[in-house]
Structure 1
């Protein structure tokens, strides 16, 4: 597995990560299957796993995905010392819906709960503020993260769903090493708002969420002729083509495709071997 530096930390992780979200929502697979997926990812050299306190069914199920990942890591027979788990906090799941709570009190509490859910024996590798809450300033919210870094509960801090200006405000409070925003061939906002360019310029890792363009498009990628033809010509999956497109957009990009089946993470991991020419990239751009 190819590796790349996480921000400017000196820590190197796999160039393709694993997104844990599909393993913990309402239609989640059996726990044993999810653990097999995580173990297979580790076998393949994946050392970056993305999760969140809100990857669960509802508030009563909070931190489900973090606990699942910890269980998988502790039951794995190989070396997990280089595995980086990046979690997030600040979103709520009332009755299965989504909401924001960036209050310092809530963030302090959920950081402690995430620390415990992930084992409670070492700092959270990466903690990301999941989405800014307009009821609080960035400084008010991220003060909690800075306190947790100083207290040894968090190693590195990132942000998610942030604009360039918000990232700059966050960096005034605490060192930021990563940004996680929506990005795919169909969702180009990070190109338009300058976030991707800023991350590339500043050496921040960019983690694109929803890399396949959402669940409906994900299921129908093979119906897009340009992508399907490229996949066929290279003997790879349509998902490999999209991940290769993402990786080509900036050296800062680290895709974190979700998986709930062993075959899915095996396919995603293979994407490090797929290269696209400038002409092929333009073909995808025209089609999307």
Structure 2
């Protein structure tokens, strides 16, 4: 599998990452082991998790598999912190919460460092400088190699990155983990251009549109699907609407012409978008992961990629359009 630099850093990662949101909850340890083995055999190197996945169980599963399947120094581990556990899951970017969460993550993972540590969301109640000071301390202490953000707006990411770049010795922001797929292209308005200018690599989560781009929901909701799951139904419902259906049909048609699956088409599209480093594959079973890994062999023909761009295009207006060089609308001033 091709390796790509993570932003403007010396860290190279495989162009497909393995996500673990379901590990320890919907994916048991045996199936998690099978997923990790398939991923490693395919040349994958980046394993993504978070302290809140399965209330910590995902990290614990990873820790139990490290010695069994892969030496620690042959896998890159990315985790996240910044969501407070509880019924409301408030974002907590305070220095105390983040550093306690990091220590707990390291214990569950059974390692003394993580390769990439990401703030899971912007916390408006904590000064950003305080949040970023926790990242600096984590790197200075050797517990973290690189840092990033997740689910930040474009201006929030830019503020964080420029603050870190303003003083020598601060840990640079090298990654932004964001939702990005044919069904969700909102980051193209501001965040992607900002990331390109700042040297930040984008790690798309839910590159299959929360599973909808597999085509499995074209004729209903399978009983074993996320849309039929009590805790994930609302997560999927967002994309079970007419606009999404038309994009899914376009992916199905493209897949038929290429002799591949719709999910391979969707993954290949997002994988090769400008600024993208590694889409995160969030399979529930080993079989699903094998299908997703097959996308590594696919490069979309230019005409098909352009057609998918058109059918999934989002509206871009003022002020983003001003930076494209296109003429303003009539009457604009």
Match of 1:114 in 2: 105
Q: Is the 8 A contact 1:179 1:206 kept in 2?
A: yes
Superposed displacement of residue 217, structure 1: 5.5
1:276 aligns with 2:325: no
Give unmatched runs, 5+ long, in structure 1: 57-61
After superposition, the C-alpha distances for 1:4-49 in whole angstroms (9 at most, x for unaligned) are: 1122332222111111112244xx1222111211122111111011
Structural mapping, 1:186-205, within 5 Å: 186-192=183-189, 194-205=190-201
Q: C-alpha distance in 2, partners of 1:86/1:221?
A: 34
Superposed displacement of residue 80, structure 1: 5.2
Q: C-alpha distance in 1, partners of 2:213/2:302?
A: 24
Match of 1:165 in 2: 155
Match of 2:330 in 1: none
Superposed displacement of residue 215, structure 1: 4.3
Q: Is the 8 A contact 2:92 2:126 kept in 1?
A: no
For this pair of structures, how many residues does the alignment match?
277
Residue 40 of structure 2, aligned match among 17, 22, 42: 42
Q: C-alpha distance in 2, partners of 1:253/1:196?
A: 12
1:84 aligns with 2:82: no
Q: C-alpha distance in 2, partners of 1:215/1:264?
A: 11
Residue 181 of structure 2, aligned match among 179, 184, 197: 184
Q: C-alpha distance in 2, partners of 1:221/1:16?
A: 26
Superposed displacement of residue 107, structure 1: 0.8
Q: C-alpha distance in 2, partners of 1:203/1:268?
A: 28
Q: C-alpha distance in 2, partners of 1:137/1:221?
A: 45
Greater CA drift, 85-94 or 127-136:
85-94
Q: Is the 8 A contact 1:240 1:267 kept in 2?
A: yes
- Scaled by the length of structure 1, what TM-score is found? 0.89
1:146 aligns with 2:136: yes
CA 1:209–1:246 in structure 2 vs 1: closer, same or farther (change >3 Å)? same
After superposition, the C-alpha distances for 1:149-179 in whole angstroms (9 at most, x for unaligned) are: 1111111101011123222332223311100
- Scaled by the length of structure 2, what TM-score is found? 0.77
Q: Is the 8 A contact 1:44 1:266 kept in 2?
A: no
Q: C-alpha distance in 1, partners of 2:111/2:208?
A: 33
Instruction: Give the alignment's Cα RMSD to 1 decimal.
Output: 2.0
- Bigger Rg, structure 1 or 2: 2
Q: Is the 8 A contact 2:95 2:130 kept in 1?
A: yes
The list of structure 1 runs, each at least 4 consecutive aligned residues, that deviate by more than 6 angstroms after superposition, is: none
Q: C-alpha distance in 2, partners of 1:9/1:176?
A: 9
Superposed displacement of residue 199, structure 1: 1.9
Match of 1:59 in 2: none
Match of 1:257 in 2: 281
